[in-house]
Structure 1
Amino acid sequence: MDFKKRLRDTGIAVTLAVAATLPLAGTATQASASERSFRMATAWSGGPLMEVGAQAFADNVARLSGGRLEIEVFPGGTLGPALKVSETVPQGVADLGHTWSGYDWGADPTAVLFGGYAGSFDSERMLHWLYRDGGVELWEDWRREEFQLIGMPLFIRTAEVFLHSRKPVQTLEDLEGLKLRTAGAWLGISQQMGAASITMPGGEVYTALERGTIDATEWGTLWENISPGLHRVTKYVIIPGVHQPTAPFELVINPGVWDELSDEDQRIIREAAFITTINSWLTIGQEDAKALDFFRSEGNEIIELSPEVQYRAHELGQAWATEQAEDNPWFARVLEAQSAFAELWGDANRYRNVLTRAD
């Protein structure tokens, strides 16, 4: 497709610089094209996922289209249940949605291969796989075939915080019986590690922690977790997020709405999603670097997981993926593509990382 070819022919820096300073080519065509407005459902009540994700995407679409395409962004729960955006959009309640594909793991576990799980590679590798090794195309084909949706990346996290917890957690023994809020494949994998895991929308987590309904939660990265105030109702910040080494989020579009768009408008949507995704990665990476000091200043204790927990989580994640691939052709197809990419990048740490005394 033209989008794929263009991405291969231009670097990220060039794409961002051009998009940030100039209107898209073909201004005369845009001026004569029809104006459109869309309703966008989200799974978020606010915070970085809304500001750096959904709303930033809407702003990018408006800018790149010269104001012709307008997207009204609705908080989670306004246009249907927050965790059911992928159902709200094909029903026509919303034209577009911003969600995490992993919420659909019950319908098809392939969702977590795109959304990230304990066996995933990191976000830099995920971005390369998506935009340079065919991942975006697989994602779109899977969503259209299995869910009658158009899907593509929109926003990506670095590794999440493992837990904001009312109890200290460092070892496998500490996980035993821990009442943990999570989602996706980690729901089952964490239960294998001894946790008493449940799932709930993000908007309910703070109250559940405050009341002691749950002991701990995973949610976002260090910086993302400042705005929901999880540090105020927990004492411990547990790192690193072995359950979620990466977390791409997703733009879903009603296929009827998508097919009505011109090639140019589809290109604008793709471009805006790409720019928003890269910008979210850069923003979160920078802000995460500042966040540990914030949590310390708020009286939180930082705990690093023992190596045995980190190794065990990755092993269980990979074992889970192998099992899913046995009777799910789509899962097997995507896992094979990711495994081939991981093999290609097998020596990357040797030629990309330079040791210093600070390491």
Structure 2
Amino acid sequence: MKRRSFLAGAGLAGLAAAAMPAPAIAQGKRQLKMVTTWPKNYPGLGMSAERLATRIGEMTDGQLDIKVFAANELVPALESFDTVSSGAADIYHGAEYYWQGKSKAYNFFTAVPFGMTAAEINAWIYHGGGQELWDELAKGFNIKPFMAANTGVQLPGWYRKEINSLDDLKGLSIRMPGLGGEVMRRLGAAAVTLAGPDIFPSLQNGTIDAAEWVGPWNDMAFGFYRLAKYYYWPGFHEPGSSLAAGFNLGVWESLTKQQQAVVRAACAAENDYTLAEYNAHNGDALKTLVEKHGVMIRRFPDDVVAALKKTSKEVLDDAAKEDAYTAKVYESFRSFLDTTSEWTRIGDEGFVQARRG
């Protein structure tokens, strides 16, 4: 081969090689750690975290490889926030009201008693200024947060005995986190926050008398019906529970613009997918609980509902007095809800009433 032909061939080969995508490892593949507040492989909650990690990995063609650690695999569930804030892990997947010890404002980014439905909180976060307030709050803890799942309305739980009056709440020990737990405490119950894996044994050994978790699908998976047969509604405490993926702020800022766009899209997709998943499974699970396991569905008496509503307003008002930033978040939340709730009433609620006939 002549030298000129060889050099020309080499040049074409070099151009072709430059045009081809480099292997993922050469493009800067990163391995990140996600810690969660959920049991391993748990339906809905746990699998949502796994699915989010898979989405991000596939959408970045392997550039971001996220390993998921369930509750207690790397750290206890309720230490997830501090672990990511400090940089010992890169991402958490959990419920923001678990961090109310950092700021009462965190409650508003999961659920508050008699607050927003899933559709309403999505609207507030995406279009009502909620994300900007959340970002500002979380930045002080070295976190960048996103909505990454929603369970929809949750039920107020499983009780060993019927609740016939307010007196039946007095002295009752119940697992209920967030501001819903504070409402119960003010009505005489002893509300505690427990991570998911700790609820069943606590109910079994008598440490608690009642337990709130999520709804029929997840509650059946934990087997609460074996220990308590009365299942109550309405879900006053969590009308639409938004769950979060929180990124260590330094990790988030080190991502490329393209990778950040992928994370935003993946979290939004998972938020939508998980809500649909819960709505798809809860009906079947409720039917199974009643027909196969003999669960007795009960509505709280009217006087109990009225007391829950009155006390919830007091709890929210008091939370807003904790500090100026919580007051700012509460005002945004309340103002948006005041506007959107009228549309919910004549839109969704009006149609459901008409459909029921």
Assess same fold via TM > 0.5.
yes
Aligned to 2:64: 69
- Work out the CA distance in 1 between the residues paired with 2:282 and 2:303: 25
C-alpha spacing 1:152/1:245, structure 2 compared with 1 (3 Å):
same
Contact kept in structure 2, 1:170 and 1:304, CA below 8 Å: no
Q: Which residue of 2 aligns with 1:252?
A: 246
Name the residue aligned to 1:236.
Answer: 230
Specify whether residues 105 and 30 from structure 1 end up closer, same or farther in structure 2 by C-alpha distance, changes over 3 A only.
Answer: farther
Partner secondary structure for residue 224 of structure 1: helix
1:285-304 to 2 correspondences below 5 Å? 285-296=279-290, 297-304=292-299
Instruction: Report the equivalent of 2:260.
Output: 266
Deviations 1:189-226 (A, max 9, x none): 21111112222222111111112221110111221212
Q: Indicate whether 1:306 and 2:304 are aligned.
A: no
1:141 equivalenced with 2:136 (yes/no): yes
Letter of the aligned partner of 2:68 in structure 1?
Answer: V
Contact 2:152 2:240 in 1 (8 A): yes
Preserved CA contact (<8 Å) 1:39 1:95 = yes
Return the offset for 1:316: 1.8
Match of 1:350 in 2: 346
Task: Tell me which moved more, 300-309 or 108-117.
Answer: 300-309
- Distance in 1, Cα, partners of 2:44 & 2:153: 15
When residues 62 and 342 of structure 1 are mapped into structure 2, their CA distance, relative to the original with a 3 A threshold, is: same
The alpha-carbon deviation at position 86 of structure 1 amounts to 0.7
**Structure 1 residues 139, 28: CA separation in 2 closer, same or farther (over 3 Å shift)?**
farther
1:183 equivalent among 173, 177, 187: 177
Cross-structure match for 1:332: 327
Unaligned runs of 5+ in 1: 1-26
1:60 matched to 2:63 = no
Compute the displacement of 1:331 (Å).
1.1
Query: How big is the shift at 1:49?
Result: 4.4
RMSD over aligned Cα, in angstroms?
A: 2.0
- CA 1:209–1:345: 2 relative to 1, 3 Å: same
Counterparts of 1:156-235 in structure 2, within 5 Å, are: 156-235=150-229
State the Cα deviation string for residues 233-288 of structure 1 (Å, max 9, x = none).
Answer: 22111112112112111111111111111111111111111111111111111211
1:16 match: none
User: Match of 1:203, SS?
Assistant: helix
TM-score (norm 1): 0.87
SS at match of 2:217: coil
Give the whole-Å Cα distance in 2 for the aligned partners of 1:114 and 1:85.
17
The more displaced of 188-197 and 318-327 is: 318-327
**Residue 283 in structure 1 maps to residue 277 in structure 2:** yes
Q: Give the Å deviation of 1:63.
A: 2.0
Does 2:105 match 1:84? no
Q: C-alpha separation between the residues in 2 aligned to 1:138 and 1:172? A: 37
Matched AA of 1:337: S
What is the alpha-carbon distance in structure 1 between the residues aligned to residue 257 and residue 320 of structure 2? 35
Distance in 2 (alpha carbons) for counterparts of 1:239 and 1:181: 15
Residues matched between the structures, number: 332
| 1:95 maps to which of 90, 95, 100 | 90
Contact 1:182 1:217 in 2 (8 A): yes
After superposition, the C-alpha distances for 1:65-122 in whole angstroms (9 at most, x for unaligned) are 1222111100101222211211011222211111111111122100101111213121
1:144-193 C-alpha deviation (Å, 9 max, x unpaired)? 12x22111212112111211122222432221211111212223221111
SS of the equivalent of 1:120 reads: coil
Give the corresponding residue for 2:15. none
Question: Structure 1 residues 82, 314: CA separation in 2 closer, same or farther (over 3 Å shift)?
Answer: same
- Counterpart amino acid of residue 123 in structure 2: H
The answer to whether the Cα contact below 8 Å between 1:30 and 1:66 also exists between their aligned partners in 2 is no
Cα distance in structure 1, aligned partners of 2:347 and 2:76: 46
Going from structure 1 to structure 2, the CA distance change for 1:357 and 1:130 (only over 3 Å counts) comes to closer
- Contact kept, 8 Å, 1:223 with 1:291, in 2: the verdict is yes
**Aligned equivalents of 2:171, 2:101: Cα separation in 1:** 23
Q: Secondary structure at the match of 2:218?
A: coil
Residue number in structure 1 paired with 2:5:
none
Give the greater-gyration-radius structure (CA).
2
Mean CA deviation greater in 339-348 or 252-261: 339-348
Instruction: Give the CA deviation at 1:318.
Output: 2.1
CA distance in 2, matches of 1:309, 1:143: 35
Return the letter of the residue paired with 1:259: E
SS at match of 1:345: helix
Structure 1's 64 and 170: CA in aligned 2 closer, same or farther, altered over 3 A? farther
Report the TM-score, using the length of structure 2 for normalisation: 0.87
